[in-house]
Amino acid sequence: MGREEDSAQQRYEAICRTLLSSPGVTRDVDSTQTRSRFGSSALKVNDRIFAMLVKGSLVVKLPTLRVDALAASGGGERYDAGRGGRPMKEWLTLTSGSEEEWESLAREALEFVAHRSAA
């Protein structure tokens, strides 16, 4: 793991420590996994993923229009989970060098997913 990925991991761990105190928030961490799987150390609310660290980038679930706006402004990119080059419309990737605030977007993602899962 490079220095940039270490820094991203540290930022993500700080977000996890903060958000795990929120109602309904959990984190699945499976140290027996030899190969990372989608959401293997993701933050979840009501058992639905809202944020995860993927290859040194924070990935968050937000409303499509919000993802569109952030992607258009250069605040991130649509997340592509390797599904034949089709980015996922409600997922945004933020690199470790992103100017966007990771924690505030993770909180926004938490609220979005919590609201959707309560409906």
CA gap 116, 119 in Å, rounded = 5
Residue the block writes with tokens 């105190």: 21
Domains of the chain in start order, with CATH, are 3-118 (3.90.1150)
Residue the block writes with tokens 């899962």: 117
Q: What is the pLDDT along the chain (119 residues), one digit of tens a residue?
A: 566 667 899 999 999 999 999 999 999 765 444 444 445 589 999 999 999 999 899 999 999 999 999 999 988 999 988 766 778 899 999 987 777 899 999 999 999 999 987 76
Would you give the distance in Å from CA 108 to the centre of its chain? 11
How many Cα atoms occupy the beta-carbon half-sphere of 78 within 13 Å? 17
- Pick from 109, 115, 119: which is nearest to 16 by CA? 109
Whole-prediction pTM value? 0.84
